[in-house]
A and B are shown apart, each in its own frame.
Chain A
Amino acid sequence: MTHREPDELTRGERDRLDALPRELPAPSALRGRVVRSLAAAGLVRRAPPRWTSWAWAAALVLMTLSGFAMGRMTAGGAAPAGPHYLLLLYDGPGFDPGARSEADLVAEYSAWAGRLAVEERLVAAEKLGDAERVVGGPAAGPVSGFFLVAARDLAEAEALARGSPHAAYGGTIVVRPVDE
């Protein structure tokens, strides 16, 4: 933005105007308002703030529809064979599903959870709420949900976790055996 015309301002005016800061801190709430209005107009695809807010629920709904009773019951009422392992899911700083659409992510999480149910590995699955109280601490970070699965050993439970879309998108999963 350079003037090709002779400057019509005096040197003094130019110096004063040049001293004005070109940037001022925009109100912090403005970004959210802009993003919401653009999303409403179809000009921005909303990113899931945390995958659990919808993908988790959608995955559980899908499992319910496919015959898996939500909660700590299994299909047919029989517990899957083998020791149980807890898969603790954290979003963590690395979680980034990129530009994938919400529908694609729901389908991926649902397919993964559905496979666990069909293979009779799923013992229980729950989405956890956002409220948290940490006693003692420090906490590793907010747990967003868990799966309780049946596996031959820790290595197989870890392989199940690695096969999840959550791991694929950089989310953190802690695998722990249930002490029997």
Chain B
Amino acid sequence: MSAADADRALVTRYLDGRGERAFRALYDAHADWLWAFALRLTGRREAEAEEVCQDAWMAAARHLDGFRWESAFRTWLGGITVNCWRRRLRKGSRDEAPLSGHERAPPAHPAGTVDLERALATLEETQRAVLLLYGVYGYRHAEIAEHLGIAVGTSRSHLSRAREALRRALANGRLGEEIHR
């Protein structure tokens, strides 16, 4: 069974009666993916990422019966998550610092990628979102522009600035590590 067929089966089972077990199965299939997505989007603010995930599942459950399978389930869920994240940003109730960078490195991270995660977290919000959506999650500029409520050209220029900022952050990170040694 392909991933798409598996997703469709899980969604169908959940929508057929909205049972808790069926929802848990759907949740379990995508929870770790969504967590990585939300954690990066929020610049590694864990409490905020949890809120975003919770909002996203709520919105997904509410609108799932209108999902037409014109994209992969995760592409759709990711778009919803971006909307939930933006809504929280607009509310502006952020008092959580991002993870410091000296916290545990999750074992799921291959060597070298922890620095990249830290550098991504230092980017300006929209630049980070564009770089993540384009570079990590494979969204096209037109989709990014729609989700972020910006023009396609703006998405491109954000990407360009984000790449520049990421290069600087990675260079600073290396310098910082050398100073710490």
Contacts and interface: CB of A to CB of B under 8 A. Distances in A.
Nearest to B120: A20
A24 B106 contact: yes
A17 B61 CA distance: 30
Given A1-B137, A16-B116, A45-B17, A34 B110 contact: no
B140 A23 contact: no
A26 B32 contact: yes
Contact of A34 (B22, B57, B75, B159): B57
A45 B19 contact: yes
Chain B, interface size category, equals 35 or more
B103 to A, nearest CB: 13
A17 B22 CA distance: 33
A25 B108 CA distance: 8
A3 B140 contact: yes
B112 A19 contact: yes
B68 to A, nearest CB: 17
Q: Taking chain B's interface residues, is the majority helix, strand, or loop, or is none over half, making it mixed? A: helix
A99 B17 contact: yes
A45 B19 CA distance: 5
Interface in A28-67: 30-31, 33-35, 37-39, 41, 43-47
A21 interface: yes
B113 A20 contact: yes
The 8 closest A-B pairs by CB, nearest first: A1-B138, A26-B35, A23-B32, A47-B20, A24-B36, A43-B61, A99-B19, A26-B31
Given A9-B163, A30-B53, 6 more contacts: A13-B163, A20-B117, A22-B136, A30-B50, A34-B53, A34-B58
Interface of B: 16-24, 27-28, 31-36, 39, 46, 50, 53-54, 57-58, 61-62, 71-72, 75, 106, 108-110, 112-113, 116-117, 134-141, 156, 159-160, 163, 166
24 contacts: A1-B72, A4-B140, A17-B136, A20-B136, A21-B36, A21-B109, A21-B110, A23-B108, A26-B34, A26-B53, A27-B50, A30-B31, A30-B54, A34-B53, A37-B54, A37-B58, A38-B61, A41-B61, A44-B19, A45-B18, A45-B19, A47-B19, A98-B19, A99-B19
